[in-house]
Amino acid sequence: MGSDRVGVGVSPNVADTGWWAFTNGGSANQGGRYSLFSAAKGQTWSGAQAAGKLLNSSGKTVVTVVEGDPNQEAPIAVWYFQLNTQDS
């Protein structure tokens, strides 16, 4: 995993509304959560993050992407998927 990287992309429509993304990886002092992308509008790509920082040590990492206006309380949509990083 040394040079592996993870990033998230969204459609221009989602980017126009606003979005953010996170995983259930990260260290305990981060609350077991790692931010891939902070709430913003207009940008369609999170950028690539080092996989070692954001993956869950269990080998199963859930990535969550939320569409929503950062100034509103309720999200418009939530997508999540699991990255399996260990052989079963």
Residue 41 is predicted with a pLDDT of 93
- Tell me the C-alpha distance between 22 and 28, whole Å: 15
Full domain range(s) for residue 31: 5-84
Pull the structure tokens for residue 65.
């992407």
Does the pLDDT at position 1 exceed 80? no
- For residues 19-31, average pLDDT: 82
Is the model more confident about 31 or about 64?
64
Count of structural domains, the chain: 1
- Tell me the C-alpha distance between 4 and 48, whole Å: 9
Q: pLDDT-based confidence at 10, cuts 50/70/90?
A: very high
- Tell me the C-alpha distance between 41 and 16, whole Å: 5
Does the pLDDT at position 36 exceed 70? yes
Does the pLDDT at position 30 exceed 70? no
Task: Please say whether the beta carbons of 69 and 52 come within 8 A.
Answer: no
What's the mean per-residue pLDDT of the chain?
89
Q: Which of 15, 76, 6, 68 is nearest to 44 (CA)?
A: 15
Q: pLDDT-based confidence at 64, cuts 50/70/90?
A: very high
- Tell me the C-alpha distance between 68 and 3, whole Å: 32
